[in-house]
Structure 1
Amino acid sequence: MEYEYRLVDRDLAVDGVKRLLPDVVWKIANTELVEGIGLPEVQMICGGKATEGMTVKEVITVHNLKRAMQFMLANLDRPVDLDLVKEYNRIVCESLCDKPGEIRSYPVRITGTDYKPGMPAIGKIEEVLQLAKEIDHPIKQGFYLFGHISRERWFNDGNKWTAQLVANHVFVQNNAAMLAVPVEERENFWHKLVEFYETGQQDDLNDFLYKTSIGIMPGGLTMEKTREIEERNRKWLGLE
């Protein structure tokens, strides 16, 4: 599949992220949480208001993801290197996970699959990050980093959150897109992710994410939805 995107002005891309921030935080949060969090509660927390009916873990999760997104917007000119990736993990896992921001130093298992990731090595991680820089297509580069971080479990916890944030750093840095898995697609996302873990083949996962979860800047809609709206507008304007 060809992964199309449309480059826009940096200010337009940043404005789009700011406008979409509560929605993106809500969706990213729910890719790691089994029970899920409601959008109204996320909007309240992102707006600095207190909310009832949420666990302490859920409130911290939303707050951390909001801070990670703000960190992204303040650091878009930074290259994706090991220090940056570790900082994203540190922010999202603060007060939630064991040793946030530190590379995993013990074996782990992944729920729902027999696949067991090997122990991460700094040299291998830095090689992946260097190879990513050589990919000149921002969508493919983001997917490449997302796949390695999530499948190889570079950190003790929060790897899917970290992988999405790093991919989004690449997407927004290039003024191209935003990754946020719709909550209604969460189970399909988990299924595709497990298949990827077990096979190491990422194409199906990437195609799924592109069709359902990649919002093209500045509107934040999928390419398919963007085209539908453009076609409708052309008909209304009598251009067809």
Structure 2
Amino acid sequence: MTNNQKKALFSSTRMHSELVYNMTKLEGNPYTYSEVKTLLDGITVGGRKLSDQEQVLRVSKAWEELRSQIKQGTFTLTKANFIHFNQIVAENEALIVGCFRTGQVYIAGVEKYIPPKAEELDTVFEQMMKEFQQLEADVHTKAFWLFLQCAKHQFFYDGNKRTAQLMMNGFLLSHGLPVVSIPARLKRSYDSKMTRFYDTNKMQPMMKFLQKLADSGRYE
């Protein structure tokens, strides 16, 4: 591991509770930041649904797995690893895990865009990764492009954006760059920009949004 990778991993570990909180909050999870910290310390939070608790713990497990792969040098942007991370974050939440979806899905609130048919997903994934490898851009731009394309294609029944965020950050960490997390306080702006991206396929607003977070130097 390089020194930059070690520094980025250390920062990610230090901000673990915040990363978990941000990701679950974007999914509408009611856990507060203090409740997330309490749960991750091994103390059950009263008055919360078991499904919400499990979602927090799954996201925590996924971040831990991501850091483990980076430390061991085993992180890859392969179909198998995408499926692996989706299975962690979407277990007991999605209709089917452990493979690409086998039926059609739609994105709530999106009117003009319909994700690819299930039988097209393998070809779509291969083409996406080919374009990714050929993309002449800096690491941040490539990472953000990957996130947006993964979210758009909806390879899974559920957990698509969570999986996409993890793979984006795995790519960043593998290049010794800090993780980029969408702050819970920016959920409304994030949702609005993502909806516009789905409907228009214009990536620039979301790319600027993510780059601003990266430039801030904060792991929110």
SS of the counterpart of 1:95? coil
Distance 1:158 1:145 in 2: 15
Query: How far apart in 2 are the matches of 1:215 and 1:61?
Result: 29
The alignment covers a number of residue pairs equal to: 212
Alpha-carbon distance between aligned partners in 2 of 1:183 and 1:17, rounded to the nearest angstrom: 17
**Residue 66 of structure 2: SS of its match in structure 1?**
helix
Is 1:62 matched with 2:63? no
Q: 2:114 aligns to what?
A: 116
**1:38 to partner: Cα distance:** 0.5
Match of 2:131 in 1: 131
> Residue in 2 aligned with 1:214?
214
CA offset at residue 13 of structure 1? 1.1
Correspondence 1:73 to 2:67: yes
2:97 counterpart of 1:89: no
Cα distance in structure 1, aligned partners of 2:12 and 2:25: 18
Q: Distance in 1 between matches of 2:164 and 2:30?
A: 19
Counterpart mapping for 1:157-172 below 5 A: 157-172=158-173
TM-score when scaled to structure 2?
0.89
Q: Secondary structure at the match of 2:132?
A: helix
2:181 aligns with 180
1-side partners of 2:98 and 2:207: how far apart?
A: 26
Counterpart in 2 of 1:152?
Answer: 153
Deviation at 1:221, TM superposition (A): 5.2
Report the counterpart of residue 48 of structure 1 in structure 2: 42
Offset, 1:220 = 3.3
How far the C-alpha of 1:8 sits from its partner, in A, is: 5.7
Normalised TM-score (structure 1): 0.82
Sequence identity (%): 21
Given that residues 28 and 180 in structure 1 are in contact (C-alpha distance below 8 angstroms), is that contact kept between their aligned partners in structure 2?
yes
The verdict on how the C-alpha distance between 1:111 and 1:87 changes in structure 2, with shifts beyond 3 A counting, is same
CA separation in 1, counterparts of 2:17 and 2:128?
31
For residues 87-110 of structure 1, what are the alpha-carbon distances to aligned partners after superposition, in whole Å with 9 as ceiling and x for unaligned?
A: 110000112211123211211121
- Unaligned 5+ segments in structure 2 are none
* Deviation of 1:48 (Å): 2.1
Return the alpha-carbon distance in structure 2 between the equivalents of residues 166 and 65 of structure 1. 13
**Cα deviation code 1:9-46 (max 9, x no counterpart):** 2211111110011100100111122x532101111122
Please identify which structure carries the higher helix content: 2
Matched residues in 2 for 1:158 and 1:168: separation? 15
Where does residue 25 of structure 1 map in the other structure? 20
**Distance in 1, Cα, partners of 2:215 & 2:159:** 23
CA contact (8 A) 2:169 2:179 kept: yes
Distance 1:178 1:8 in 2: 15
Q: Distance in 2 between matches of 1:60 and 1:172?
A: 26
Return the alpha-carbon distance in structure 1 between the equivalents of residues 54 and 84 of structure 2: 17
Deviates more, 1:40-49 or 1:61-70: 40-49
| Greater Rg over alpha carbons, structure | 1
Helix, strand or coil: the match of 2:179?
strand
